[in-house]
Chain A
């Protein structure tokens, strides 16, 4: 089974040379730390920066330079700042190659819910609805089950949706899955996790049509 860092490491393998990538808050933010050093990638943050670098050293943080998670950041050579309309022009206009974000639920049709639990919690959608409505390649990073052990991979989402039929791939602590017309297609198992464990933790339709390899990290 993977921890959050393991999920980030596996997703980092999906990041290819020349990609502009938008990382959501939480596990997705960690992905930047594990991208291969020999490829050129630029990270976009929807609050208005392209070419994000690592966190600053203590004492060098600047209140005017943050990421979408409101964390202090640095920029790399070649970086640029821009306003929010320009930022979402990059996103809506499909100039960003890969979007990685977290979710509370994903359905077997690729619907995603991640912004609201009616009556209990409302954080807001932030930029997530714009991202999922337009991005061509969306990977969800999340735990396979919630805190009380219920599957987050469902036949239909029970929570208010963020987007419809948009998720392409999911990387969880248990598996890598692809959304297909017939359901969640199992691609890889996390180290030490059996297909049965994945099946038991998946409420939606799970497709296992071949020998499932263990992921290599």
Chain B
């Protein structure tokens, strides 16, 4: 067994520095790497490029890095419900590349799977396709989108073992699995870290080969963005 465990979030983020490109899992605030984000805030490294579907909310998730002006560029599909993000973007302080959500997922997966680029129909005929190579297949037009290149991927799973195998819960899975192995170093934080042999190999969502460092996070807040309930 090749051990991937590190003792703390501090060890897990060894090597992060200014001007790096990071991938961060999560959809809204669901399944975000809370501990890695807190540590990045603490280290105050700047000039970051962050690839993440959303940018958190003003006071949680990636919103914390935005408030702190640590992010130079965001690559996202949706930025609504975050006033500071919208303000920095419209004022030009923040460079933003908005791309279709499926394209975001597939550019991660391409990096993970060794494809330099993929063709997608999403965005054809819109400003998203401007300046990009397009090509017709069977009478339909597609846009060439390149695999991402990133220094670190920060992902959050529900359970993991010392070998880096991961299991996710509910919709907290989202972008996390496709970011594993898509950057030079993948750091997984989990709610529960168990010894090897405890997870059923049939139930593993991401095999440990895609993960370089794993640690158990503490005190997950798991904030709900839109608490919506029905009357009993």
Contact = CB atoms under 8 A, between A and B. Distances in A.
A26 to B, nearest CB: 12
A65 B232 contact: no
Nearest to B121: A133
A213 interface: no
Interface residues of A, number: 55
A127 B232 contact: no
Contacts, number: 185
A169 B153 CA distance: 41
B102 A124 contact: no
In this complex, the interface size class of chain B, counting residues with CB under 8 Å from chain A, is 35 or more
Interface string B78-120: 1111000010011000001011111111101100000000001
A160 B108 CA distance: 26
B71 to A, nearest CB: 16
B106 A85 contact: yes
A101 interface: no
Given A92-B121, A161-B126, A163-B126, A125 B77 contact: yes
B79 A57 contact: no
Contacts of B104: 84
B63 interface: no
The 7 closest A-B pairs by CB, nearest first: A88-B102, A130-B102, A164-B125, A123-B80, A64-B170, A129-B100, A124-B78
23 contacts: A47-B30, A47-B171, A63-B30, A63-B224, A64-B172, A66-B171, A69-B226, A71-B228, A72-B228, A83-B105, A83-B175, A83-B177, A84-B104, A84-B105, A84-B174, A88-B106, A92-B120, A124-B80, A128-B100, A129-B102, A129-B123, A161-B126, A163-B125
